[in-house]
Structure 1
Amino acid sequence: MPDSGADWLARSRDVLRRTALVPEAASIGRVEEVGDGIARISGLPDVKLNELLRFEGGRAGFAMTLDADAISAVLLDEGAAIEAGSRVTGTGAVVRVPVGEGLLGRVVDPLGRPLDRQDPVAAAEYRPIERPAPAIIDRDLVTEPVGTGLLVIDALFPLGRGQRELIIGDRATGKTAIAVDTMISQKHADLVCVYVAVGQRATAVERVLEAVRSAGAPERCIFVVGEASASPGLQWIAPFAGFTMAEYFRDRGGHALVVVDDLTKHAATHRELALLTHEPPGREAYPGDIFYLHARLLERAAKLSKALGGGSLTALPIAETDAGNLSAYIPTNLISITDGQIVLDSRLFAADQRPPVDVGLSVSRVGGKAQHPALRAVSGRVRLDYAQFLELETFTRFGGISDTRIKAQMARGERIRALLAQPRLAPLRLADEVALLAALADGALDGLPPEALPDLRARTARALDGVAADAVATLAAGGELDGAGRTALVDAIRSLAAEAAPGRPERPAPP
């Protein structure tokens, strides 16, 4: 039955009584000029630094510089629909991104918007992209290992949960490959991996996605993509957004790993935005705050104290050098900020030594404190022996070797080099690494030519599972390895070496 006129009048008067008829002020700015991802805005005198701004049509940006008469805002969306005269309003909030379990397995842009053609992300909450790093009193010692599955790193430059380890080298030397192998090796671990692409080509990002999907655990990874075709603003906020997403798991007592690929392109984007907003350039045209930019980002990686849950956030930033120049501005900044660096050498890469880690320039400032005791026990002299071999190899190119001791040292070094070489997407378990290094230390590999070691390494996991299953299970559970377990591992490798020794008939490959 339709309402009567009296009922409608009564309801209308009730609405009027409950409506606060007070003046309401709105601050509205105007776009004066726009281009290259930057908008110059007049008005909005109350806008704060890094405040989120809304443009006509729903597009967003944030205030990067505040001048006396104008605001320089970085656009987070394409600026084609923004033109001079467009209205702008402040939001009173900073840029926030979704966090939570709903991001696992997803490919998103730095604002958390899906790029994988799936439903919008189910966010547990929204957090600012800029968050303070944990205080010193809130941190704990870095003592738990992060296994990369790469023998050259786990044995010589071990990483710990809460560490910041820089991966640096020339273009196309396998920097991303090391980070991806580390993500894949967490397939059976409890680390959540966050891969952040900054300024990368779409094809490069697709290769990373395919590698993790084929060999890793993509359901426990988050991919934050600010590719080369994205707006400079999205590329700028990408590392900060990735850290915020990872901190959600760290703050709940979990463990997370963040790969930033790469900070060299992020620094170039920051320089571009800074010059467009008329900030004074400094060394190599970078603004003076570029060090603080990356320092406040990487300081967020930490191992929290037990009182705060004991969670950890490990960072693997990637940086690119030109002609191996580690003394350039951005590389020196990042080296001084991080807890060590894995340096990749283009000459080793050209010599088919993969991964091409320079053992003389690489270092982990946490080192053995975060290494599993069983691996630390068998890797003590490997780095020294390998470094001495590389020096001897340089000198012996000028003449023959007559000293028996030097010949033995060279032969051992060649086997170490062959053992440390490792193909992509083939990470080793902790038990495999311990067995191979223990066998090397005990001389079980002395009868094998170096070219036979890659095949032996590929067959190691199957052999250990067959005859040393107890030792493998002990190491997988994080337990200590006793003498009997070590002997079982070495005997398994010794049997493999005997089968592969020269002069033995070829054994058919297992089905």
Structure 2
Amino acid sequence: MSTRERKPRTRRAKSNSEININNNLNVSSSIQSQIEASHIQFDDTSNLFNEKACSYLNEQTLNFLKQAGRQQNEELERLMNEFEFEYDASDYLPEDEEDTYADYLPIEYENENANEYENEYEYEGEGEEFDFEFDDEGSEGSEDEEDEEEDLFDDIDLPEEYEYEYITEPEDEFENEYEELEKVYEELEKEYEELANEYEELEETTTRNLVSHHLDEDENIASMSMQHVTNDVLTDLEAGYSNTSIAGSPLESVNYGKVLSIKDGVVHASGLETVCFGELVCFNNQKDILGLVLTLRRKTVEIVMLSNEKTIQIGDSIYRMEDNSGNMGCFPTVKVGYEVLGKHINVFGHVLNEEDLSTHDLLSYYYLTNETRSVFKKAPGIISREPVTYPFYTGIQLIDAFFPIGCGQRELLIGDKFTGKTTMAITAILNQKETNKELIYPIHHDERLTNFIKKEHVFCIYAGIGQRRSSILRVYNVLKKENAMNYTCIVSSTSSCKAALQYLTPYVGTAIGEYFMEKGHNAFIVYDDLTNHAVAYRQMALLLRRPPGREAFPGDIFYIHSSLLERSAQMNKNLGGGSLTSFPIIETQCGDVSSYIPTNVISITDGQIYLDSNLFNKGIRPAIHVGLSVSRVGSSAQNVSIKSVSRKLKIQMSDFNKLVGSTSINTDVDPALANIISIGLRLREIFKQRNPRPFYQQIMIGYSSAAGFTNKISPHFITLYYKLLFNQAFTRQLISKFELNFKQKELLYVCEYLARVHPFNNLYDFYFKVFPIEKLKDILQFDYFLSRYSKIFFAQFQPRLDKFLKRKKALFV
């Protein structure tokens, strides 16, 4: 009877090695996903944190990758060592069943010890299949025995997770799978090396950024502050998060802080590791609650509040802000443009005179004005400047004749309280009305102001620093009444405002003036006054615990004023040729010009005009002290005609100041001295003025006084003398009565035509600005005209006026 040789069926169980291999592949895939997640996470957060945080993050992430690679390497080595030995068959049996080797043997071996055949099993698979080979004796038997053997195998019931199959795989299959594992291991090694190289490059770039940004490299503080950051990032990476939540996490400490204490408008805060000096921050993510960073320490910063500090509490959040371009870090800015003209704004750019403006003006300011300018800007350099050569007329004859000012000059107005400093500055603004006459009307017709802009226009800014509300309102009403608000912008902070707002006010006004300067226009700004500005900065410095110096002012008060006033300049033609002229105002105490702030500003500016309280009390207004006032650079920009006229007036005025005390002596005075005194008294009356004078009137007054045409006119009537001279109707009567003999008849016809068609002041203003006085007196025959007019006034008007004054005195007696 032939025997049928057949290999017994074996169950195919998932071996430990297979489970380990699968686990290893899962681990490698999870490691790879974590590496990718960490790479993505690093890219997402690298823009949100500072470079120092990125460097420490790279180190921690790289260590994590190295540790994962070592675990992977050890696991693969362990698997390779396992495959060198034969596997124990008991490892492939289920743990919950009590099967023995006898269940898998023929029935004739059932009652025998299965351990005797344990050594006869030969492994023929890859760790997942095996065979049982028996000797020839065990394979011989009858057909009945074989049938019983088949029945035995059919009756065995095993769990469904185990499969039964005949072994048909080749013996070299294990070697192929081993080679595949080696390839997978090599690929993972290459990926690990590539990722390690990428992180090394990122570490180098962050190091370069650290050097470029000049960050502090205090390793102890950085490690303490960044340890929490790296731990949280690695936790998110291990958890498999692709996007990490930023708000409220320690990752935000570079752009986020907490309020530690609040005292006297100064906030002490932690965090904000990348904040800069002079940067704006907001509280509780509300853009209307702002603060200005003015002190940087190792662990804390000090912030001066720009709004009410009662709205915040200890523990509130502080956030850095983004600028208009989307970059982190917002510094104080202000809206600039032609639309700011006619507006009264505060430091934040909010319009305060909305009731006086039309809807068109408000919409154009809030929605059409998109250009902003930084409040703190570096002054122009020497290369971009130009010498002062173009005159700036203030309308005050004593200043334009004796202390001329040029475009781009910084002239200091200094004096005691209530001596006319603000009035003098407002007079200079009103004097630009003739130059800006095209800008007076278009605002009322809802037309765009830019359609009327010309390069020769002079735009004015009034910066009221710590003034009373009534003073600011009075200035606004004067400018509005004279139609000067059409070319003027008022920036104010009252005395009730915070010291930080008073500190920012002159910088805001200067930024607006610089816009017009860069557009090629001549701009004029008044700082009223820098004494209040210095007091506000001193208050901030003392609250910030900065060491006080002379008069308790901080050591950098000179830099504060110099950096502000140096921004006034005359730009060269390549940069537009614009200019910014400034009138800083300083208030003295009892005429003391030797105190700290006055001496500082005097040394910074290009001249000063000193207003004397004694002259003011005598009724001499403007109360300019000729001996203490000076203009250092304006003479080079002075008009030729007024320079030749004022040269003789200066000599006459200086002689009078030497003899001014002798008028009170009752003794007889030498006729020559009496003549000098009478000329000086006449000049004193001439220089008294309440309103700005046109340029041609200054020339006529100066020339007539210097040439001696008014020597017979009493000082009491000199004002009336010039009022009649500049009366348009009266002057036309004189021209027709005198029948002036012009050398050329054509000039007579032209002058008569222009005098009838155009206003008289425009005609002469044009002549005196273009032609020197030496040519004009011959062409227009000033000598003949003034001599005839002086004789008529002395012979006809002055006697009548004397009688009128005597009667008036008699009535009072």
TM-score by length of structure 1 reads 0.90
How many residues get paired? 486
Identify the residue that residue 51 of structure 1 maps to in structure 2. 279
The one-letter code sitting in structure 1 at the alignment partner of 2:271 is G
Greater shift, 269-278 or 228-237, is seen at 228-237
CA shift in 2, pair 1:447/1:287, >3 Å: same
1:94 aligned to 2:331? Answer: yes
Q: State the distance in 2 between where 1:444 and 1:222 align.
A: 43
Residue 390 of structure 1 and its aligned partner are, at CA, apart by: 1.4
Identify the residue that residue 423 of structure 2 maps to in structure 1. 177
The one-letter code sitting in structure 2 at the alignment partner of 1:37 is G
Identify the residue that residue 291 of structure 2 maps to in structure 1. 61
Q: State the distance in 2 between where 1:105 and 1:272 align.
A: 32
1:30 aligned to 2:295? Answer: no
Contact 1:165 1:339 in 2 (8 A): yes
Greater shift, 66-75 or 139-148, is seen at 66-75
1:298 aligned to 2:298? Answer: no
Structure 1 residues 180-238: Cα deviation after superposition (integer angstroms, max 9, x where no partner): 00000000222100000000001101111111122242111110011112222111100
Contact 2:610 2:629 in 1 (8 A): yes
Greater shift, 221-230 or 475-484, is seen at 475-484
Any stretches of 5+ residues in structure 1 without a counterpart?
Answer: 1-19, 507-511
For the residue of structure 1 that corresponds to 2:320, the secondary structure is strand
1:412 aligned to 2:679? Answer: yes
Residue 400 of structure 1 and its aligned partner are, at CA, apart by: 2.8
1:372 aligned to 2:618? Answer: no
Structure 1 residues 430-454: Cα deviation after superposition (integer angstroms, max 9, x where no partner): 0000000000011111121111122
Greater shift, 65-74 or 41-50, is seen at 65-74
1:476 aligned to 2:766? Answer: yes
Identify the residue that residue 14 of structure 1 maps to in structure 2. none
Contact 1:475 1:481 in 2 (8 A): no
For the residue of structure 1 that corresponds to 2:489, the secondary structure is strand
Identify the residue that residue 4 of structure 1 maps to in structure 2. none
Contact 1:148 1:181 in 2 (8 A): yes
Contact 2:645 2:699 in 1 (8 A): yes
Identify the residue that residue 105 of structure 1 maps to in structure 2. 342
Mapping of residues 3-18 of structure 1, within 5 Å: none
Overall identity of the aligned pairs, in %: 34
Contact 1:460 1:493 in 2 (8 A): no
For the residue of structure 2 that corresponds to 1:204, the secondary structure is helix
The one-letter code sitting in structure 1 at the alignment partner of 2:599 is T
Residue 77 of structure 1 and its aligned partner are, at CA, apart by: 2.1
CA shift in 2, pair 1:465/1:333, >3 Å: farther
Contact 1:353 1:421 in 2 (8 A): yes
Contact 2:694 2:765 in 1 (8 A): no
CA shift in 2, pair 1:505/1:398, >3 Å: closer
Structure 1 residues 6-38: Cα deviation after superposition (integer angstroms, max 9, x where no partner): xxxxxxxxxxxxxx7543443321222334332
Question: Which of 187, 202, 210 matches 2:433?
Answer: 187
Contact 2:717 2:798 in 1 (8 A): no
Structure 1 residues 39-72: Cα deviation after superposition (integer angstroms, max 9, x where no partner): 2222212111001111234311211111233222
Greater shift, 276-285 or 115-124, is seen at 115-124
1:133 aligned to 2:376? Answer: no
Residue 81 of structure 1 and its aligned partner are, at CA, apart by: 1.2
The one-letter code sitting in structure 1 at the alignment partner of 2:594 is S
Residue 480 of structure 1 and its aligned partner are, at CA, apart by: 1.7
Mapping of residues 251-330 of structure 1, within 5 Å: 251-330=518-597
The one-letter code sitting in structure 2 at the alignment partner of 1:36 is D
Residue 89 of structure 1 and its aligned partner are, at CA, apart by: 0.9
Identify the residue that residue 410 of structure 2 maps to in structure 1. 164
The one-letter code sitting in structure 2 at the alignment partner of 1:445 is T
Structure 1 residues 401-424: Cα deviation after superposition (integer angstroms, max 9, x where no partner): 43221111111111111111112x
Residue 124 of structure 1 and its aligned partner are, at CA, apart by: 4.1
Question: Which of 721, 736, 748 matches 1:456?
Answer: 721
CA shift in 2, pair 1:230/1:437, >3 Å: same
Identify the residue that residue 165 of structure 2 maps to in structure 1. none
For the residue of structure 1 that corresponds to 2:315, the secondary structure is coil
1:71 aligned to 2:301? Answer: yes
Identify the residue that residue 695 of structure 2 maps to in structure 1. 430
Contact 1:471 1:485 in 2 (8 A): no
For the residue of structure 2 that corresponds to 1:127, the secondary structure is strand
CA shift in 2, pair 1:77/1:60, >3 Å: same
Residue 371 of structure 1 and its aligned partner are, at CA, apart by: 1.1
Residue 276 of structure 1 and its aligned partner are, at CA, apart by: 0.4
Contact 1:471 1:488 in 2 (8 A): no
Any stretches of 5+ residues in structure 2 without a counterpart?
Answer: 1-43, 45-241, 322-328, 436-456, 736-750, 802-813
The one-letter code sitting in structure 2 at the alignment partner of 1:157 is F
Q: Which has the higher contact order (CA 8 A, sep 6+)?
A: 1
Greater shift, 53-62 or 261-270, is seen at 53-62
The one-letter code sitting in structure 1 at the alignment partner of 2:283 is F
Q: State the distance in 2 between where 1:289 and 1:499 align.
A: 63
Contact 1:164 1:317 in 2 (8 A): yes
Contact 1:185 1:216 in 2 (8 A): no
Structure with the greater alpha carbon radius of gyration: 2
1:199 aligned to 2:429? Answer: no
The one-letter code sitting in structure 2 at the alignment partner of 1:64 is L
Q: State the distance in 1 between where 2:602 and 2:675 align.
A: 37
The one-letter code sitting in structure 2 at the alignment partner of 1:99 is V
Q: State the distance in 1 between where 2:290 and 2:500 align.
A: 10
Greater shift, 159-168 or 136-145, is seen at 136-145
Question: Which of 433, 440, 443 matches 2:708?
Answer: 443
Residue 372 of structure 1 and its aligned partner are, at CA, apart by: 1.2
1:346 aligned to 2:616? Answer: no
RMSD: 2.2
Q: State the distance in 1 between where 2:416 and 2:606 align.
A: 20
For the residue of structure 1 that corresponds to 2:693, the secondary structure is coil
CA shift in 2, pair 1:399/1:48, >3 Å: same
Q: Which has the higher helix share?
A: 2
Residue 304 of structure 1 and its aligned partner are, at CA, apart by: 0.4
Q: State the distance in 2 between where 1:435 and 1:42 align.
A: 69
Q: State the distance in 2 between where 1:321 and 1:422 align.
A: 24
The one-letter code sitting in structure 2 at the alignment partner of 1:77 is S
